[in-house]
Amino acid sequence: MRGVRQLLSLALIVGCTGAFCSVFGNACFASDWQSFTDPDHEFTVDMPMPVVASTKSSQLPQYESKDGECSYTVSINQRSKLSEDEEIEIFAREFADTFERSMKKSGYPTVRSVDEKVAGANWRGKLYQFDKPDGSKTTIQVCVEDKHNIILYVFGGALEQPKTVRFLNSLKVH
């Protein structure tokens, strides 16, 4: 359980840092979507260009881009020693719970409106949507594959928005 908590803390730091830190100037509103492959060729996902790569205190990569009011982030986290099923249920649930608590403490209370299992060709995971009182939404997909947990965030994007759907559905793990 301690390993899960460490991974959860790591994922939260990586993800929430991207949510609250503005790495894009006001003039940077991407509209050109392209297929992005990380430098290690671990995954490919459609994202608005340009994509900004960063390494947070965890030394694990994070990739961010912006399109209008929505921010798109992919963070990579090491898998724990849990089984895939436990990783999906325990890690993803604790991740979502911690995200909600963090948002509430930051003055952005959320309600989890979606909590469902999802899967791709060679990954499985959980999909969450968090609704804020102002009507904005944050959508997070936790993807568990053999080596990593790949977490996709759409800050300001709802599941019914075509760009959110494109981002989430385009993930391919190599």
Beta bridge partners of 115: 128
Give 61-98 pLDDT, tens digit per residue: 899 999 998 999 999 888 889 999 999 999 899 989 99
- Strand locations in the chain (E): 33-37, 43-48, 52-55, 61-67, 70-78, 111-119, 124-131, 137-144, 148-155, 172-173
Instruction: Return the sign of the alpha-carbon dihedral for residues 46, 47, 48, 54.
Output: negative
Residue with tokens 């979502």: 96
DSSP for residue 91: I
CA distance linking residue 84 with residue 105, whole number of Å: 31
Kindly give the pairing relationship between strand 33-37 and strand 43-48. antiparallel
Give 138-168 pLDDT, tens digit per residue: 999 999 998 889 999 999 999 999 999 999 9
For residue 140, give every residue at least 6 positions away whose Cβ sits within 8 Å of its Cβ, in sequence order, or none. Answer: 15, 95, 96, 99, 127, 128, 129, 130, 151, 152, 153, 154
Residue 21 has pLDDT above 70, yes or no: no
Residue 8 has pLDDT above 50, yes or no: no
The predicted pLDDT at position 170 comes to 96
The predicted pLDDT at position 86 comes to 93
Residue 38 has pLDDT above 50, yes or no: yes
For residue 59, give every residue at least 6 positions away whose Cβ sits within 8 Å of its Cβ, in sequence order, or none. Answer: none
The predicted pLDDT at position 126 comes to 96
The predicted pLDDT at position 56 comes to 66
Predicted structure pTM score: 0.80
Residue 51 has pLDDT above 60, yes or no: yes
Using a pLDDT cut of 70, give the percent of the chain over it: 80
Assigned fold of 2-173: Protein Transport Mog1p; Chain A (3.40.1000)
Pick the closest to residue 32 from 12, 16, 46 (CA basis).
46
